[in-house]
Amino acid sequence: MVRLMAEDVGILVLGHGSSKPYNKEMVEKCAELIGRSHDGPVKIAFLNMDEPNIAAGLESFAGTGVKTIVALPIFLAHGVHTLEDIPTELSVDPTLRRGSCKLNGSEVEIRCAEPLGVDDSIAALAYQRASEALR
């Protein structure tokens, strides 16, 4: 695993949001686990239903000294949310997947990470879940 060492890089873990409370708990736990590998602040936000919303999630970095925020969608694949809705909420160019916002009067760069996608670790986890189903 590549470790982001920069303390001035924040990670905004993005969930879809749900009326079910375990969805928010899952995103919170995922952010906590990501935080174990990252020296900078890790915050959460949701596209809809749950709080904080994306604007509040960005604002939660105020006072942290971050110069860059990586918006990390906990989504498996690209869709309308990752390609349109999230970039719009972040005021990020959807093609470049980059933009900026003002925090404490300073310009902060925002970069959108790709969804989780196809990866050996995702396949291994999927296989583990299939194995668990047979127990």
81 catalytic residue (yes or no)? no
Residue 62 is classified by DSSP as T
**Residues 16, 38, 78, 81: which is the catalytic one?**
16
Q: Which helix (H) or strand (E) holds 129?
A: helix 120-133
Strands, sheet with 106-112, edge to edge from the N-terminal-most edge strand: 42-46, 9-15, 68-73, 106-112, 98-103, 92-93
Query: Active-site positions?
Result: 16
